[in-house]
Amino acid sequence: MAYPTDRPAIWFVTGTSRGLGLDLVRQLLERGDAVTATTRSGERLLAALGDGVDTSRLLPLTVDLRDEEQVAAAVRKTTERFGGLDAVVNNAGYGYLAAVEETGDRDVRDMLDVQVVGVWNVLRAALPVLRAQRSGHIVNVSSVLGLTAVPGWALYCAGKFALEGLSEALAAEVADFGVDVTIVEPGYFRTDFLTRDFLALPENTTAHYPAIRGMVAQHLELQGKQLGDPVKGAAAVIDRVVTGEGPLRQLLGSDSHAYATAKVRALQDNLDAVAATAPATDHPAAV
Ligand SMILES: NC(=O)c1ccc[n+]([C@@H]2O[C@H](COP(=O)([O-])OP(=O)(O)OC[C@H]3O[C@@H](n4cnc5c(N)ncnc54)[C@H](OP(=O)(O)O)[C@@H]3O)[C@@H](O)[C@H]2O)c1
């Protein structure tokens, strides 16, 4: 995509009242770009931005991302207010820590509603605009846990792995329209993600997973000590879109890079181990 240099770029960012999304909105406004910032609470977003930020190019919208109509209206309002759309950042998301058998049906649906259905609603609304103009950049904020899975994070990983699959297919589908897709994979970042208020937990636990209870305690303890700086994370996302240069996946953080590298090695070992047995299910080759 050719990032606009003759006018402020127009961004659409989800999940903006805290963390990475809030830092993104702040830095985009400081650059002089125009931003639609969706949130579940416009009031909370404006309070978090504070007085020192020029909000003349901000369109804060209270949107339930699970509601296709609300999302479509938000994209429509963006093009009406700013005259176009250049970059979309699907950022909204939350963590959930429990064993698979402790994870309730409602918990599964809620997570997938935000991380898959919500993203899909945004894409369905934004893609016709980007496709018609033959330019644009979609950033889907996944996680290193969209590449590798660990005990206790099954539901979160299920959501992020789904987002990765969707994004990888999307990137290939829209490349010919001049639309870029970037998957962002942060490691641990110092946002509100791991706080007691925002890390989701199951309604009922069992006594069979003491290691996972230990992990919950450890993660809550980690709050405030995570390696990743969300100000730098937001800047990296902006840089990726502005330069238009880089591969499909942008890992953020040395922890993320190390976990992903270990996953790739394990996957390669697995592929090597079945190299002889996998072809056994083929039909005989046609002569
Ligand atoms: N921090 C990390 O360690 C880390 C690591 C890997 C990936 N990530 C990913 O990075 C993204 C940003 O997270 P963050 O670290 O900035 O966390 P955060 O400080 O908790 O912020 C999360 C944002 O997502 C939105 N959100 C949370 N739960 C939601 C729900 N149920 N429905 C709709 N929106 C919801 C919130 O938006 P509103 O309240 O404004 O609606 C909030 O602004 C997420 O996708 C997360 O999965 C974070």
> What residue spans define the domains of the chain?
10-93+110-194+227-279
For 223-248, the pLDDT digits (tens) are 999 999 999 999 999 999 999 999 99
Looking at the whole model, is its pTM more than 0.95? yes
- From the CB of 252, is ligand 1 less than 6 Å away? no
Contact by Cβ (8 Å): 103, 153: no
Give residue 3's pLDDT.
86
Band (pLDDT 50/70/90 cuts) for residue 287 is low
Contact by Cβ (8 Å): 172, 162: no
Shortest-distance atom of ligand 1 to CA 198: 20
For 12-55, the pLDDT digits (tens) are 999 999 999 999 999 999 999 999 999 999 999 999 999 999 99
Ligand 1 test: best mutation among 63, 91, 144, 153, most atoms within 8 Å of CB?
A: 91
In the chain, the percentage of residues whose pLDDT exceeds 70 is 99
How remote is the CA of residue 198 from the centroid of ligand 1, in Å? 9
Q: In the predicted model, what is the mean pLDDT of the chain? A: 97
DSSP of 261-283, one letter per residue? HHHHHHHHHHHHHTTTTGGGGSP
How remote is the CA of residue 19 from the centroid of ligand 1, in Å? 7
- From the CB of 115, is ligand 1 less than 6 Å away? no
Q: What 8-state DSSP symbol labels residue 198? A: T
Mapping DSSP to helix (H, G, I), strand (E, B) and coil, where does residue 253 land? coil
Give residue 148's pLDDT.
98
Give the pair of three-digit tokens for residue 80: 């009406």
Give residue 120's pLDDT.
98
Span 10-93+110-194+227-279 CATH architecture: 3-Layer(aba) Sandwich (3.40)
Ligand 1 test: best mutation among 117, 185, 189, most atoms within 8 Å of CB?
A: 189
How remote is the CA of residue 210 from the centroid of ligand 1, in Å? 27
- From the CB of 146, is ligand 1 less than 6 Å away? no
Ligand 1 test: best mutation among 183, 191, 223, most atoms within 8 Å of CB?
A: 191
Give residue 1's pLDDT.
53
- From the CB of 93, is ligand 1 less than 6 Å away? yes
CA distance 92 to 14: 5
Q: 36-47 in b/e burial notation, b at 16+ Cβ within 10 A?
A: bbbbeebebbbe
Instruction: Kindly tell me the sign of the dihedral angle through the C-alpha atoms of 68, 108, 119, 166.
Output: negative
- From the CB of 16, is ligand 1 less than 6 Å away? yes
Q: Which residues pair with 89 in a beta bridge?
A: 13, 139
* Nearest partner of 133 among 272, 2, 277, judged by Cα: 2
Please name the residues in contact with 146: beta carbons below 8 A apart, sequence gap of 6 or more.
Answer: 157, 160, 161, 163, 164, 183, 185
Give residue 199's pLDDT.
96
Give residue 181's pLDDT.
98
CA distance 201 to 246: 36
Contact by Cβ (8 Å): 122, 76: no
How remote is the CA of residue 89 from the centroid of ligand 1, in Å? 12
Q: Are strands 249-252 and 136-141 parallel, antiparallel or unpaired?
A: unpaired
- From the CB of 39, is ligand 1 less than 6 Å away? yes
Contact by Cβ (8 Å): 249, 224: no
For 156-192, the pLDDT digits (tens) are 999 999 999 999 999 999 999 999 999 999 999 999 9
Summarize the confidence of residues 108-127 as an average pLDDT: 98
CA distance 83 to 80: 6
Contact by Cβ (8 Å): 150, 95: no
Q: Residue of the nearest CA to atom 47 in ligand 1? A: 93
In 134-253, alpha helices (H)? 154-174, 210-222, 230-243
- From the CB of 193, is ligand 1 less than 6 Å away? yes
Hey, which residues are catalytic here?
A: 142, 156, 160
- From the CB of 155, is ligand 1 less than 6 Å away? no
Count of H-run helices and E-run strands, the chain: 9, 7
